[in-house]
A and B are shown apart, each in its own frame.
Chain A
Amino acid sequence: MPKHELVLLKNMMHPGYTGSLTDYEQAGGYQALRNTLGKIGPPDVTAMVRQSGLRGRGGAGFPTGVKWGFLPKDYQGPRYLCCNADESEPGTFKDRQLMERDPHQVLEGIVLACYAIGAETAYIYIRGEMVLGSRILEQAIGEARAAGYIGKNILGTGINADVWVHRGAGAYICGEETALLESLEGKRGLPRIKPPFPATHGLYNKPTVVNNVETLANLPHIINRGPEWFAAIGSPPKSTGTRVFCVSGHVKRPGNYEVPMGVTVRELVYEHAGGMRSDKPIKAFIPGGASAPFLTPAHLDVKLDFEHVAAAGSMLGSGGVTVMEEGTSMVWAALRLMEFFYHESCGKCTPCREGSSWLVQTLRRILAKRGRMEDLETLSDLCKNIAGRTVCAFGDAEVAPIQSTLNHWRQEYVDLINEAETANLIRPEPVGLRR
């Protein structure tokens, strides 16, 4: 049994819980909606969320209530809510579980958010590969609509909120909020330059909020149990609530573990995930999905909350914790992640589009033992010229594996290059340079 109280995963832990509307209602579901719509004013809902300290669970960790507060108050036209269910960050698989095992919890959060921001239409942008998840959500929407929780005149309050599932089609970048909006508008998922922000110029150029699945799933609980309850969990004041951490890699029991923010990786790995698969020591871990820099065993006791992970030189990101055992080649690990970023670069910004290609080629060369010592400088230079020079944060994300492995395991690069240089002592001169 988990020693912490489960919030988001609680229902699905009960044997026989199917995630149907009946099951959800029996577990106390939709009570928050009943107690809020028409009874608590939308600004008060926003104030409660702000007071709870809830921060976005998608990666950036922006305070949810503050984000909602950016919407123009006097705007009369339509507003939109987009539920970001484009879970594609390597190492992350929590939203999939929340949607597939307890879809009504997510839907209740969506309707509550719609009410708070005054939106009458919400789109769940789910990644295209999750066909099962989209079917489950569509079925749940049908149930909720029939029961009067979604649609026109919800529970007789005169409030409307329609929810639609929109499947993406295989592009990691569409998890970036402005790329998501472009994709939802039927275009290539290229990120937009900010500002203007979606709060004023979002979907169809209308005020829009984009929130992650896990963020929205927290809302019914914040309403039911009060913002003070939520704000007391985890690492107050800046990292409140629980977090569903996805543990993958060389552990005995990979999976999703919901714990209060602020637990350590050591606790997550050894107490929840059963320890290391082969009982070898940990060599490296990523604390927040592929975009987060690697950390070392020296960071095993760093608290998993926004501030402490950032202070250790990485980021909490999407909560995807990937653990690697002793013996894993960090150059190889960096290459595997770089291949992902190279494949998924949308191509809009030259530094990212071209740079990712060069990074992959250089890493492949080093791993093939054809590297040269100057490659290390090339890698560093490339990273410096990509990070911070792109429209979205993808550029910063793609250099993270290389910069952090160069930082912590530089010797592995050097050893591979030394082997290459020994093997190529008699290196033929390039023909083209002979005069």
Chain B
Amino acid sequence: MLKDKYGKEIEEILSRYPIKRSALIPLLYVAQRDQGYVSESAMQEIAHLLRLTPPQVYETITFYTMFNLKPVGKFHIQVCKSLMCALVGSDTVIEWIRAKLGIAPGESTVDGLFSLSLVECLAACGTGPMMQINDDYYEQLTEDKLDRILADLRSTGTSRLKSGPFMWPEPVAVKGES
């Protein structure tokens, strides 16, 4: 039960809003963080907590793209395919990942490590092509950088190639990076 596990956090979230329903998206995030996706039982519990009906929770959750209604890989790779990234090579990035992982968009690797999705604009158009893996952005991607990111994630579960706060003044050159 989410309430037992995250009681204090849930109380804190509820205290931010004068109307309980506003806490719906934040609580769905709590559920997704717990299991990697939002299960039916989590939806029912959240509905109960917010005094909503389960359909009210379901109608909301299905509107937003960031909630997974079924398990995804440990690393959910989301590549931006919008025009701005496409102009600087996102199609190559997608093909590279497809080839390296042997999965098409919407699929997961057999070992459950990686899932691949294509998404629309992630507000990193100046540093494209880019992708998001779980909570982190990876920008100015090249084939070499992609290989290193995938290897890092496999071996250590994280990669230092993820983006920090927005780059300024000059986008960091990727080629020749140590």
Contacts and interface: CB of A to CB of B under 8 A. Distances in A.
Co-complex (A, B): yes
Interface of A: 9, 12-13, 19, 78, 87-93, 95-97, 100-101, 127-132, 136, 164, 166-172, 183-189, 204, 246-250, 253-256, 290, 320, 322, 324, 328, 333, 336-337, 339-340, 343-344, 346
A90 B125 contact: yes
Classify chain B: how many residues form its interface, as a range.
35 or more
10 contacts: A100-B166, A101-B166, A136-B165, A168-B25, A172-B120, A248-B88, A255-B170, A320-B125, A336-B86, A340-B82
A204 B19 contact: yes
Given A166-B25, A186-B23, A290-B83, A128 B64 contact: yes
A340 B26 contact: no
Given A204-B19, A322-B125, A132 B165 contact: yes
A346 B132 CA distance: 23
B66 A128 contact: yes
A19 B18 CA distance: 31
B111 interface: no
Interface of B: 16, 18-19, 21-26, 28-29, 50, 59-60, 63-67, 81-84, 86-88, 119-128, 132, 135-137, 163-171
Contacts of B60: 186-188
Contacts of A187: 21, 60
Contact of B64 (A131, A171, A247): A171
Nearest to B62: A188
Contact of B125 (A93, A129, A168, A172): A93
| Closest 7 pairs (CB-CB, A-B) | A169-B64, A186-B24, A186-B21, A170-B65, A170-B66, A248-B125, A100-B165
Contacts of B126: 93, 246-248, 254-256
B78 to A, nearest CB: 8
Contacts of B64: 128, 168-171, 189
Contact of B66 (A132, A169, A255): A169
A88 B121 contact: yes
A322 B66 contact: no
B127 A186 contact: no
Nearest to A337: B83
A13 B25 contact: no
B168 A90 contact: no
A89 to B, nearest CB: 7
B17 to A, nearest CB: 8
Contacts of A253: 170-171
Contact of B123 (A13, A96, A188): A96
A419 B160 CA distance: 48
Contacts of B63: 171, 188-189, 346
A132 B165 CA distance: 7
A97 B66 contact: no
Identify which of B22, B163, B166, B167 gathers the most chain A CB atoms within 10 Å of its CB: B166
Contact of B165 (A19, A164, A290, A346): A19
A136 to B, nearest CB: 7
A99 B60 CA distance: 27
A155 B123 CA distance: 35
Nearest to B169: A13
A305 B120 CA distance: 28
Contacts of A256: 126, 168
Contacts of B67: 169-170
A128 B66 CA distance: 8
A249 B166 contact: no
Contacts of B125: 90-93, 246, 248, 254, 320, 322
Contact of A166 (B26, B59, B132): B26
A248 B84 CA distance: 7
A57 to B, nearest CB: 15
A337 B25 CA distance: 28
B25 A97 contact: no
A186 B61 CA distance: 10
Given A93-B166, A132-B137, A322-B125, A185 B25 contact: no
B87 A324 contact: yes
Given A93-B166, A100-B166, A256-B168, A340 B122 contact: no
A400 to B, nearest CB: 12
Given A88-B121, A128-B64, A204-B18, A255 B24 contact: no
Contacts of B127: 93, 254-255
Given A246-B125, A254-B127, A97 B86 contact: no
A322 B84 contact: yes
Contact of A344 (B50, B120, B123, B165): B120
Contacts of B18: 78, 204
Contacts of A189: 63-64
B123 to A, nearest CB: 5
Contact of B168 (A12, A78, A131): A12
